[in-house]
Structure 1
Amino acid sequence: MVRSYIKNNQRNWDRHITDAAFALRSVVHSAINCSPYFATFGMPMVQHGASYEIYRKLGTIGDADCQVEAKADRLQLIREKLMKELKLAHEKSMKVYNTRSRDVRFKIGQVVYRRNFRQSSQIDNYNAKLAPKQVRCIVLKSIGNSMYELGDTSGKKVGVYHAKDIFVA
């Protein structure tokens, strides 16, 4: 976020910390449907000192010495609402994740293809854009639920890979 403020002059980056902090605290978060400031303090963030008078007239801000119990009750209601919103956001994320996930089990000795992660190297005269996307391998060992030790076609170990990077031949 600070990078978007500094542009070409990187010497004054610290002058923009307050702007970035204000933006993070005041923006409405999609999971809780309110700003982090509101979730913490139970009132909207005051952007300017002159806004205090308006908030007092609207009744959203009271004096510090009165209505302590009412404020505690209000904050408890906000916390309960936040818990509901977070639960809904979690269920939504879980649904999206589960639509993309696949339950795959590979057998020892099975021929598979793994994603090629080799980077380009000028020293080795190797260009990753021209290389194959997958490399043929053999499953040597299963490690846990989703990790597999793979070897090349001769059986020499090449590494441990996650199931999401392995495809059936």
Structure 2
Amino acid sequence: MITHGSDYKLLKDLSLLDDPIVPISRSDNLALLRKDIQASIRRAHDRNEKQYNLRSKPVSFKEGQEVYCRNFALKSVKSYYQLEDLQGKEIGTYHAKDIRS
């Protein structure tokens, strides 16, 4: 029985703490690593899900109910304009900051 931390050094010097080394194949080692990674990803997902659900409201929809979906563009399309000259010929697309009156 180990009662003090200094006992670990003595047992280590006597090689009584060493676990027997069993060689495992690379595929088995990767399988074990894959399981650890999956468990870690699952824990992170659960943690993030819990945080998200704290700030969201439960929503229920009825069949046939009109639902609006918001689409997010990667760049602001509202700030780009198609310009035409007085004859109706297209000049090009310009950003709002580049257009002057």
TM-score range, shorter chain: 0.3 to 0.5
TM-score of the two chains, using structure 1 as the length reference: 0.22
TM-score of the two chains, using structure 2 as the length reference: 0.34
Larger radius of gyration: 2
In proportion to residue count, which structure has more strand?
Answer: 1
Which has the higher relative contact order, 1 or 2, with Cα contacts under 8 A spaced 6 or more apart? 1
